[in-house]
Amino acid sequence: MPLYTVFLLAVALSMDAFAVAVATGCAVRAPRLSHYARLAACFGVFQFLMPVLGWALGLSVRDYMEAWDHWIAFGLLAWVGGNMLRSGLAALKQRETSCPATDPTAGRNLLILGVATSIDALAVGLSFALLQTPIWGPAALIGVVCALITACGVYLGKTLARLCALNGWAELLGGLTLLAVACNILREHHVFD
């Protein structure tokens, strides 16, 4: 898979983390370096680990699905992208998104958010296994991109507390990007020829 495709995938997977980071910036209002570091590190690590876990799971069933692998990868990515689109549209309909009342960069809240924002990366890792794509480089890029986007989200949330209303647009963009990557997989397998 080309580097630019993995980068776009990393950006798309980071949109949930970005939305949570913006809300965190709203809640904390004056985040310290420790807030940035905890949130970015947690989200980055989970975004790295989940594709690796999905890839490992996918290796165990790959031989059974080689004839359908590109369709399965398309379906998984389209499903995740569709869910992100639906979530983004719901956020846009609400008009105002309330910011969390507690510090989400501490304790159990942080771990729950890390897992919740990276579940879609598990499906991506499974897709990589089905497409026989190595995982370590893409997973590292996904983790680093997510950490950077998370830090930017916290900063934007701090700077513009009302930016919470834009979370729906970020999820829409992420969902559309995942759908584009899914269609590109079919194109690479000459489905449209």
**Which residue segment(s) compose the domain that 127 sits in?**
3-93+102-165
Q: What percent of the chain has pLDDT over 90?
A: 28
- HEC per residue, 44-99: HHHHHHHHHHHHHHHHHHHHHHHHHHHHHHHHHHHHHHHHHHHHHHHHHHHCCCCC
> What's the CA angle centered on 46, arms 21 and 92, to 5 degrees?
35
pLDDT at 162 over 60: no
Determine the average pLDDT of the residues in 169-173. Answer: 66
| Number of independent structural domains in the chain | 1
What pLDDT score does 188 carry? Answer: 81
Spatial separation of the C-alpha atoms in residues 10 and 80, rounded to whole Å: 13
More confident residue, 169 or 57: 57
**How confident is residue 166, by pLDDT bands cut at 50, 70 and 90?**
low
Q: Is 125 a domain residue?
A: yes
Of 82 and 145, which is predicted with more confidence?
145
Query: Which CA distances in Å does 142 have to 60, 84, 150, 171, 172?
Result: 23, 17, 12, 17, 19
3-state secondary structure of 124: helix
Give the pLDDT score at 71: 81
In the chain the first and final C-alpha atoms are separated, in Å, by 19
In a domain, 180, yes or no: no
Q: Is residue 50 part of a domain?
A: yes
pLDDT number for residue 100: 47
Supply the pTM of this predicted model: 0.72
pLDDT of 102: 57
Instruction: Tell whether 126 is covered by a domain.
Output: yes
Statement: residue 64 has pLDDT above 80: no
For the stretch 58-63, contacts whose Cβ atoms lie closer than 8 Å and that sit 24 or more positions apart, written own/partner, are: 58/125, 58/126, 58/127, 58/128, 58/129, 58/130, 59/129, 62/129, 62/130, 62/132
Which residues are within 8 A (CB) of 139 and not within 5 positions of it... i.e. 6 or more apart?
Answer: 48, 49, 51, 52, 55, 125
Angstrom CA distances, 44 to 10, 28, 115, stand at 11, 20, 11
Residue 162 or 29, more confident:
29
Asked if residue 169 has pLDDT above 90, the reply is no
Q: Which of 170, 163, 169, 125 is nearest to 143 (CA)?
A: 125
In a domain, 182, yes or no: no
**Domain contains 145:** yes
The per-residue pLDDT for 146 is: 97
Residue 188 domain flag: no
| 2-57 residue pLDDT tens | 899 999 999 999 988 888 787 777 767 678 899 999 999 999 999 999 999 999 98
